[in-house]
Amino acid sequence: MVKTDSSWRRPPGASGPARDPELDARIMRSAIELLAEGGFPALSMDKAAARAGVGKATVYRRWRSRVELAADALDHAALAAGHRAVRIGPGQLRQELIETLMQVEQCTSAPHNELVATLLATARHQPEIFTLVRERYVDSMHRLVGEVLAHAVERGDLPPPSPSEESDGKCAIEVSAAVALLIHWQIVRDGEALTEDHIVSVVDRILLPLVSRSGQDRR
């Protein structure tokens, strides 16, 4: 199983001189640039060291492999930093979903755009990186939308899930469909930039109808 936390990094002073946070950040920025340019295949310890202007040994003192370096680089990039489930109140599910999903649009409009797009395009061919991308970006979006729907159930805007849906522990298919479309938008739409109008269309034409239909089937 692939580990994906920063405990990989060796403790300060464990090998060689004390760690320099600024040097760590420079190496991780170099790794992010390489990942954005060519996905996981483009990242190597040698390339990260060369781009950061440090010796290869300096990188290996901090990370034992490129998977470990990629994990910390994705944390450093903070792909889902600040994302939250929006709560407005009863009868406002549509607006809550729109505002929550707008965080995806803001991310794809930011400098993270190339990094996310390239990693998604290559992750399916790289088992080592797939888990990292899923945990640090995709799962967070599923969780946020799931929280919005759960809040709607709590206040009575949606019926509760069926016992089978609760027991399987999986994200609702309605959430998975909408989030997958938004995350892969530029691939599905031939490079077209994701906008607020697109978010509204996905909520109105896909997510809300699916959620409403699912709720009717439970009654």
What length does the chain have?
A: 219
The verdict on residue 16 lying in a domain is no
SS3 call for 39: coil
Q: What is the pLDDT of residue 218?
A: 52
Q: Is residue 46 part of a domain?
A: yes
Confidence band for 7, pLDDT divided at 50, 70 and 90: very low
CB atoms within 10 A of CB 57: 11
Strongest mean pLDDT among 3-12, 43-52, 67-76, 144-153:
43-52
Q: Are residues 106 and 72 in the same domain?
A: no
Q: What is the CATH number of the domain that holds 39?
A: 1.10.10.60
Q: Over the stretch 85-133, which tens digit does the pLDDT of each residue have? A: 899 999 999 999 999 988 766 655 545 666 776 777 776 777 777 777 7
Q: Which domain holds residue 108?
A: 92-212
Across the chain, what does the average pLDDT equal? Answer: 78
From CA 206, how far away is CA 162, in angstroms rounded? 21
Is-above-0.95 flag for pTM?
Answer: no
Average pLDDT over residues 156-177: 70
Long-range contacts of 212-217 (CB under 8 A, 24+ apart): 214/172, 214/174, 215/158, 215/159
Asked if residue 202 is part of any domain, the answer here is: yes
Residue 105: inside a domain: yes
d(C-alpha 186, C-alpha 25), whole Å: 29
**Does residue 191 form part of some domain?**
yes
The answer to whether residues 40 and 135 belong to one domain is: no
Q: Give the C-alpha separation, 47 to 30, whole Å.
A: 8
| CB-CB contact of 95 with 65 (8 Å) | no
User: What pLDDT, in 10s, does the model give residues 37-88?
Assistant: 888 889 999 999 999 999 999 999 999 988 889 888 888 877 666 678 899 9
Give me the pLDDT at residue 195, please. Answer: 84
Q: Are residues 102 and 202 in the same domain?
A: yes
- Residues 173, 103, single domain; the answer is yes
Query: At residue 183, what is the residue type?
Result: I
Residue 107 and residue 68 in one domain: no
Query: CA-CA distance, 196 to 57, in Å (whole number)?
Result: 46
Q: Check: CB of residue 207 under 8 Å from CB of residue 199.
A: no
CATH number of the domain encompassing residue 194? 1.10.357
* 109 and 200 share one domain: yes
Smallest CA-to-CA distance from 40 within 9, 77, 67 is with 67
What's the CA gap between 59 and 143, in Å, rounded? Answer: 34
- Does residue 163 form part of some domain? yes
In a shared domain, residues 71 and 99: no
- Pairwise CA distance, residues 83 & 101, whole Å: 9
Q: Total structural domains in the chain?
A: 2
62 and 99 assigned to the same domain: no
My answer on whether 192 and 169 are in the same domain is: yes
Q: Which of 77, 106, 124 is the last residue of a domain?
A: 77
User: Picking from 29-33, 141-145, 163-167, 195-199, which range would have the lowest pLDDT averaged per residue?
Assistant: 163-167
CA distances from 176 to 106, 170, 187 (A): 19, 10, 17
Tell me, yes or no, whether 184 lies in a domain.
yes
Is position 52 within any domain?
yes
Same domain? 60 vs 99? no
Angle, in degrees to the nearest 10, between helices 66-77 and 21-38:
100
Residue 40 shares a structural domain with residue 96? no
The reply to whether 197 and 127 lie within a common domain is: yes
